[in-house]
Amino acid sequence: MEQEDKPKAEKKLSYGAETIKVLGGLDGVRKRPSMYIGSTGIRGLHHLVYEVVDNSIDEALAGYCTKISVVIHSNGFVTVTDNGRGIPVEPHPKLKISALQVVMTMLHAGGKFDKDAYKVSGGLHGVGVSVVNALSEKLIVEVTRDGKLYVQEYSRGKPTSEVNVVGNAEGTGTKVMFKPDTEIFETTELIYDTLAARLKELAFLNKGLEITIKDERTGKEELFKFERGIIDFVEYLNKNKNKIHKPIWIEKQKNGTHVEAVIQYNDSYVETLFTFVNNINTHEGGTHLSGFKTALTRTFNTYGEKLKVLEGMKLTSEDVREGLTAIVSVKVTEPQFEGQTKTKLGNSEVKGIVDSVVSEGLGIFFEENPSAAKTVIGKSVGALKAREAARKARELTRRKSALEGSSLPGKLADCSNKDPSKCEIYLVEGDSAGGSAKQGRNREFQAILPLRGKILNVEKARLNKILSSDAIVTTVAALGTGIGDEFDIGHLRYHKVIIMTDADVDGNHITCLLLTFFYRYLPQLIEGGHIYLATPPLYSLKKGKSISYAYTEAEKDKLLKEIGLEGINLQRYKGLGEMNPSQLWETTMDPATRVLKKVTIEDAVEADRIFTILMGDEVAPRRQFIEEHALEVRELDI
């Protein structure tokens, strides 16, 4: 695609102490860490690594860095190294201390606030390396520039040494080695796969940039480098799907905003669409997403009419996104983020820019590839007809409900409280477990919906087929939100939706089918933190009149060691139905004692890929996935 000239990387621009702008100190970071990194749990811990990596990415965006390396050490340290320009070390003109120390100890101090040093920069919260420093037991920073190696050490944000020259060195770059503080974080055990997934994403978004990750604890290491950038990204997402055409690549610079998009359709019924602004995954969308959707719908309708395949009908945005896999990546000089998690782009001008760039690029592709255009638009027409059939099915369901005098399913044992924020619903597998749950529950705030029959695998079906599945229709009716274009989270009747299945292969399969349904058709429930998994015990250990429950194999072994084997009656629960109502309440439903697991999407890209592998048509990748991960399974009853 045609694009404007990009600014050359070899700018004669100095990146020195004078470009470091300072907006405030580090006070309060250790007192309220969640304000700066989101949480003190596993997510916040990983965020520390992302903050340091984002600085290196900014150097790559500016055209000065080609390699980034992340190493997880066995001793609790993490090292991030890049070959960028190196953080400036000379005295800061106003503060009269090394610019390196300014960057490391002052909040909102950095080159990205200087328009000449960085045109665009990422960093979700932009809190920078100073926050990482404040929340680290120990941090060592090494800078290579001007032919010398500079080193400074810190402890919990305070310098424990001066900026010292320790020798001569070639090249330029920054190396940050830090150990997250055990006083702050609930866990300091980094998860390799979580970090690797984010680094791979960054490599896709920055074509030609080499990113490596190594885990010294296990010896595992990977190298990510994608010469075609987001074209490779889309092909990775579509790897286990049947593609309809080659990827459509669109790239252009307009009014200072750089737009890049890649589109490729497959024969599935689900959409996989990710949007990024300055490398930040904008989960909540925003103006760039609106512009993309508008362009897609208009262009499809224009060419559909030209090809005479619309039969007088109009395609909607939902129709043209069936089977779509796309990445939209924009680089904006001054992004304005909004939304609950600050991942929604608010810049109004970006909508029109993305709209015009994508319309033009897609239009050229359709003109030059008429057969691909006909296939893709034909698929959208099929989606439109299926949507009409789904609407009729919904109306029929509503008419039936009206005749029965209630819009709630008859199988539902509802709770008496009508405040959704205080109510929860258990989706329970099978009748016997449903019976126990109904008797054992607290009727004030707990509703029970027994699910009978097979749950449909929605990965392989359109909405009209899904609406013929009894288990799914009753679930949607009970939740009250509606589905598809009728969805309204404001009508959710229970703020906790708890999946409760047997702790065996069949139960795990039903859980997977339900999670696939929520992820593909009601993702707002997962994003809003409304979906939970109940954790029934695996064992009961009875001795005399006392009874204990074990939820994992390790817990069982620990209990056996503490009370000994003599006189112990050990029972392995095969299913929920084996527990009487009071046991089910005590172990799995009583808010005071139960263990609930909240379902979150830490990495939407990886979640999409795994659902495709586990629930899609391709058998070979599923077999490979199972073989690779079989040893990680801890509790499985066959």
Whether the CB-CB separation of 163 and 20 falls below 8 Å is answered with no
pLDDT for the residue 359: 97
Give me the residue label for tokens 């945005």. Answer: 317
d(CA 29, CA 129): 12
Q: Name the residue type at position 501.
A: T
Distant-in-sequence, close-in-space partners of 631: CB < 8 Å, separation ≥ 6: none
pLDDT at position 2? 37
Under DSSP, the state recorded for 214 is: E
Spatial CB neighbours of 222, under 8 Å, sequence gap ≥ 6: 196, 200, 212, 213
Confidence at residue 246, expressed as pLDDT on a 0 to 100 scale: 94
CA 154/CA 177 separation, integer angstroms: 10
Residues 6+ apart with CB under 8 A from 220: 192, 214
Amino acid found at 487: F
Residue 226: both structure tokens together? 């994608």
Considering only CA atoms, which of 502, 483, 478, 488 is closest in space to residue 424? 478
Q: Please name which of 243, 406, 248, 384 lies closest in space to residue 322, comparing C-alpha atoms.
A: 384
State pLDDT tens for residues 317-366.
Answer: 999 999 999 999 999 988 898 876 678 899 999 999 999 999 999 999 99
Q: 587: which DSSP letter? A: I
Whether residue 166 contacts residue 183, with contact meaning beta carbons closer than 8 Å, is answered with no
Asked if residues 450 and 463 have their Cβ atoms less than 8 Å apart, the reply is no
**How many whole angstroms separate alpha carbon 563 and alpha carbon 543?**
9
Distance of CA 535 to the CA centre of its chain: 23
List Cα–Cα distances, 68 to 111, 210, 285, in angstroms: 19, 6, 28
Specify whether the CB–CB gap between 256 and 228 falls below 8 A: no
Residue found by looking up tokens 């919904």 in the block: 394
CB 336 within 8 Å of CB 347: yes
Answer for the pair 464, 473: CB distance below 8 angstroms, yes or no. Answer: no
d(CA 157, CA 153): 10
Number of Cβ within a 10 Å radius of residue 134: 26
pLDDT at 114: 58
Separation in Å, CA 468 to CA 206, 268, 393, 485: 44, 19, 8, 17
Q: Which two tokens stand for residue 532?
A: 């939970």
Question: How far apart are the two ends of the chain, measured CA to CA in Å?
Answer: 54
Gap between the Cα atoms of 565 and 580, Å rounded:
25
Give me the half-sphere count of Cα atoms (radius 13 Å) on the Cβ side of residue 66. Answer: 5
Three-state DSSP state, 334: coil
CA–CA separation, 360 and 354 (whole Å): 10
226 contacts 207 by C-beta, under 8 angstroms = yes
Query: CA torsion, points 627, 629, 630, 632, in degrees to nearest 10?
Result: 160
* Below-50 pLDDT ranges, the chain: 1-12, 113, 124-126, 401-406, 634-638
- HEC profile of 116-181: CCCCCCCCCCCCHHHHHHHCEEEEEEEEEECCEEEEEEEECCEECCCCEEEEECCCCEEEEEEEEC
Q: Give the pairing of strands 424-429 and 496-500.
A: parallel
Place of tokens 């900014």: 58
Alpha carbons 158 and 88: distance in angstroms, whole number: 19
What is the three-class DSSP state of 516?
helix
Residue type, 636: L
- Active site residue ranges: 429, 502, 504, 506
Q: Which two tokens stand for residue 190?
A: 């980094």
Q: What is the pTM of this model?
A: 0.78
CA dihedral 631, 498, 39, 151 (to 10 degrees): 10
Instruction: Give Cα separations from 41 to 139, 180, 340 (angstroms).
Output: 20, 12, 19
Picking from 48, 53, 46, the residue whose alpha carbon sits closest to that of residue 67 is 53
Neighbouring CB atoms inside 10 A of 499's CB total: 21
Name every residue whose Cβ is closer than 8 Å to that of residue 612 and which is 6 or more positions away in sequence. Answer: 240, 241, 459
Q: What are phi and psi of 146, to 5 degrees?
A: 55, 30
Alpha helices in 528-579 (DSSP H): 553-563
